[in-house]
């Protein structure tokens, strides 16, 4: 599992360090609402793509569309980073986790170097801390709004979730865990039958 108490694996604080939360002013102005992300060019988790409405996606002029509403947030992370750190072998999970931690650290260092502290990813106002710096309490902590939003400093995607879910790791970690016994039992069945998708074991 990626998240555990082992020193070599990711901890909750390291995952949360990748989040650049919005500030209370932006939240109060509707920053977490769907319309605020129209044509932003970022991936936005927490909203489904709906026909007939403005998308978050924008064409880059070279036939590639960037961003869009991505659907339900991913487990734990909320953003696409979860896909690199989920159901793959332990060695590759740890390799990706190490690269991911390095990217998060470098981005946080750059943000602090440029702004003096972590700032809201929308307004970038230096003297206006994000809601998490007030422990999500009081007006400055975003009380009174029903959603929280953050940008991942690694993948640059946005995540919008109900307020009660946005203070910690997102639920669904059990969907990221491989049942090792079941996996090897099924692998053994495939090998002995040699029939799955036409695969035949080579002798």
Q: What is the pLDDT of residues 55-113, one digit of tens each?
A: 666 666 565 556 678 888 998 899 988 887 765 677 777 788 888 899 999 999 999 99
Kindly list the domain boundaries of the chain, sorted by start residue. Answer: 12-177
**pLDDT, tens digit, 9 for 90 and up, residues 18-70:** 999 999 998 888 877 876 777 677 788 888 776 555 566 666 656 555 667 88
Token digits of residue 176: 């990221």
What pLDDT was estimated at residue 55? 64
What pLDDT was estimated at residue 105? 95
What pLDDT was estimated at residue 16? 93
**Euclidean distance between CA atoms 119 and 155, whole angstroms:** 17
What pLDDT was estimated at residue 197? 43
Q: Which long-range contacts (CB under 8 A, 24 or more apart) does 125-129 make?
A: 125/23, 125/25, 128/23, 128/25, 129/23
**pLDDT, tens digit, 9 for 90 and up, residues 112-128:** 999 888 899 988 887 78
Grade residue 12 by pLDDT with cuts at 50, 70 and 90. Answer: confident
**pLDDT, tens digit, 9 for 90 and up, residues 128-178:** 889 999 999 998 888 888 889 999 999 999 999 998 899 998 988 776 655
What pLDDT was estimated at residue 151? 94
Inter-residue contact 85 to 113 (CB < 8 Å): no
What pLDDT was estimated at residue 5? 45
**Euclidean distance between CA atoms 46 and 38, whole angstroms:** 13
What pLDDT was estimated at residue 202? 37
Region class of 194: left (phi > 0), else alpha (psi between -120 and 50), else beta: left
**Euclidean distance between CA atoms 157 and 34, whole angstroms:** 14
Tell which wins on pLDDT, 131 or 1.
131
């Amino acid at each position: 599992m990626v998240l555990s108490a082992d020193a070599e694996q990711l901890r909750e604080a390291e995952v949360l360090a990748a989040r650049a939360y919005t500030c209370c002013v932006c939240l109060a102005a509707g920053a977490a609402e769907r319309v605020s992300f129209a044509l932003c060019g970022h991936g936005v988790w927490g909203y489904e793509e709906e026909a007939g409405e403005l998308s978050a996606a924008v064409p880059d002029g070279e036939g590639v569309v960037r961003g869009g509403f991505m659907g339900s947030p991913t487990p734990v992370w909320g953003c696409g980073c979860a896909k690199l750190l989920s159901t793959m072998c332990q060695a590759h999970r740890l390799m990706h986790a190490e690269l991911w931690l390095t990217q998060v650290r470098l981005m946080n260092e750059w943000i602090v170097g440029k702004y003096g502290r972590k700032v809201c990813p929308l307004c970038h106002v230096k003297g206006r801390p994000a809601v998490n710096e007030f422990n999500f309490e009081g007006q400055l902590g975003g009380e009174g709004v029903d959603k929280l939003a953050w940008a991942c400093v690694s993948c640059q995607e946005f995540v919008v979730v109900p307020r009660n879910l946005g203070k910690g790791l997102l639920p669904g970690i059990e969907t990221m865990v491989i049942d090792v016994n079941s996996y090897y039992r099924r692998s053994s069945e495939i090998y002995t039958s040699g029939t799955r998708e036409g695969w035949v074991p080579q002798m």
